[in-house]
Structure formats: structure tokens, C-alpha cells
Amino acid sequence: MSPVQHPLSEEEIQAWPSLASYVAALSRLTTSGSVTCYRGDAAPDDAHAAAAWQVSLPHDGETWLVHVERPQGVGKPAWREPVLTRMLDAMKGNLAGGRPLREWPQAVKTAWSLVITHPTRAMSLAEVASCVDLSAGYLGEQFEKITGSSFKRVLRDERMQHACHVLETTSRRVSEIASTMGGLSLSQFNRCFVAATGMSPSEWRRRFASRKSVLFSASSVSETSSFEG
């Protein structure tokens, strides 16, 4: 018999601020963007199952479940899964223990927001720490405790995710894209991209670029050349 589960309302999720922060962060990290919360009985395999990840959290005498769909048939490497699964583990550790975290520390929320909102800006952990009046060491420790990953890893992945989008949807040269990545040199950008995704920027573009955007770019270049000629 399947476990009985009832979807949580947005109001219920928001009433537990730390859960709301995790749901928003997980939605960003999963390709499918499908993160749902339920109350009810946990499935037999609690986390890291084949089709989805599911984490159970005790809350006010009930069991709340966070269900993250694994992308199916997307065709792209699931290179963000390590950060996503570490966040799931961190969420369970912080919310399912004897003293569940009520909300993310403000400094961590600020650091996370800066990284996901402005990934291409030049920034370091020390610079962000100075903005929230903490030492870089303490902020880094708190950031990793909450998210499961280091500030440096999350910043790198957010930059490379942005680069993937630009590679797929525009015809901008790799060197031009690299120059917008927070001060990275072309060689640094290439190394970071390969380390994150497992392939070079040029290979990513060949495999995943939108055919429509590529044809449009080629057409635009052709028309410009004809006009200038």
C-alpha cells in the first residue's frame, strides 16, 4: 500500500522559514525545478532513491516530507547533483535533529543571495564576510553547515550554470563569456568549466546549444556581412 501523503500549503512552508529557504535553494539546484512538500508517511527509501530524493522531517508531532524529482530524459550531465545531495543531507541534519533550525542565519542568507543573484561579479568569501561583519572563517563554516557545500564551490557552480545558459542561447565567443565571470582568465574559466561539468565550454555548446538561437545568430552574421559588403 502506498503511503498517505497530503501536500503542504505555501503558507505552511513559509511558516517554517528554514524549510522555505531550503525549498527555494533546492528548486534552484534541480534541473527539473520540482520540489514539493507533503505531510504523511515516508516512503520506504527515505533519501537518494532512483526516481527522486525524499527526506522526512519531524515537525509538531507530524512527519513532513520534502520530495525532489530527479530530472528524467533531460540529456545533459547532472553535474549539479553533488551540491544538491549535500544540501539535502545538510537540511536533514539541521531540521530533523533535537533542535531543529528555525531559520537560516542572516549572514548565510545574505551570502547565498549574493552568489545566486550576482554570480558573475568579482567576489570572495572575505569580501562577503566583511559586508556582514564576520570573519571569513566563521562565515565559511556557517555557510557550509547550512548548505552542505563551501562558498567557493557554490560560487563556482553558479558561475558555470550561468555560462552554460549563455553558451546554449547565444553565439558569444568563449573568451568573451570568460571575461564576464568575476575576473577569471580564459584558462581559469576553462578549468572551472571542465571541473564542474566534465566537458569543455566548446563541447557543451556543440551538444546543447539551441538550434534556433544558433541559426538566428548565423543568419544575423550573414545579413550583416551582406549589408557591409
Computed from CA positions of residues 204, 208, 212, 215, in that sequence, does the dihedral angle turn out positive or negative?
positive
* Mean pLDDT of the 69-88 span: 84
Q: How do the domains of the chain map onto residue ranges?
A: 1-103, 157-228
- How far is C-alpha 25 from the geometric centre of its chain's CA atoms? 7
Give the global pTM. 0.86
Tell me the C-alpha distance between 20 and 23, whole Å: 5
Tell me the β-bridge partners of 151: none
Tell me the C-alpha distance between 32 and 41, whole Å: 24
* Mean pLDDT of the 16-44 span: 87
- pLDDT digits 0-9 by tens, 109-125: 999 999 999 999 999 99
Residue 20 pLDDT more than 90?
Answer: yes
Residue 223 pLDDT more than 90?
Answer: no
* Mean pLDDT of the 92-119 span: 95
What is the third-level CATH fold of 157-228?
A: Arc Repressor Mutant, subunit A (1.10.10)
Tell me the C-alpha distance between 157 and 86, whole Å: 14
Consecutive H or E run containing 12: helix 10-14
Which grid cell sits at 65? 516530507
Question: Which CA distances in Å does 135 have to 8, 92, 103, 207?
Answer: 38, 27, 21, 42
- pLDDT digits 0-9 by tens, 40-76: 876 655 555 567 899 999 998 999 999 998 876 557 8
Q: Which amino acid is at 31?
A: T
